Amino acid sequence: MKERLAKFSIGEVVRHKVFPFRGVIFDVDPEFANTEEWWNSIPAEVRPSKDQPFYHLLAENEENEYVAYVSEQNLMNDESGEPLRNEQVYQIFDMEPTGQFKPKMSFTH
């Protein structure tokens, strides 16, 4: 298997290319690592390849905050500069002056 480097890193704010949500990356899988049931729930015409990095996001859309699992091909940098509402972001990360988030040294649940 060919080794791939992840395009995005933990703490980056990204947005989905197709669906209206964005979030902060809190974990990265080098390739697909979810269930087959989850995989098969994606319509075949938009189902991404498994052999790319997948990202765990503390995500939000207009209505909700939630955890999302997204393929690299469906993400892009979020350049909006808008603050995030998801409270978990601020429990796990500190905001750097650059606008990127840095994991806190320790945090409590």
- Helix ranges, 4-106 (H): 36-40, 87-92
| Average model confidence (pLDDT) across the chain | 90
In a domain, 46, yes or no: yes
Residue 98 belongs to domain spanning: 13-103
The answer to whether the pTM exceeds 0.85 is yes
In a domain, 109, yes or no: no
CB 32 within 8 A of CB 50: yes
For the stretch 30-50, pLDDT in tens is: 999 999 999 999 888 888 999
CB 98 within 8 A of CB 81: no
In a domain, 4, yes or no: no
Name the domain count of the chain.
1
DSSP conformation class of 49: P
In a domain, 86, yes or no: yes
Alpha-carbon span 71 to 52, nearest angstrom: 7
Q: Is 72 helix (H, G, I), strand (E, B) or coil?
A: helix
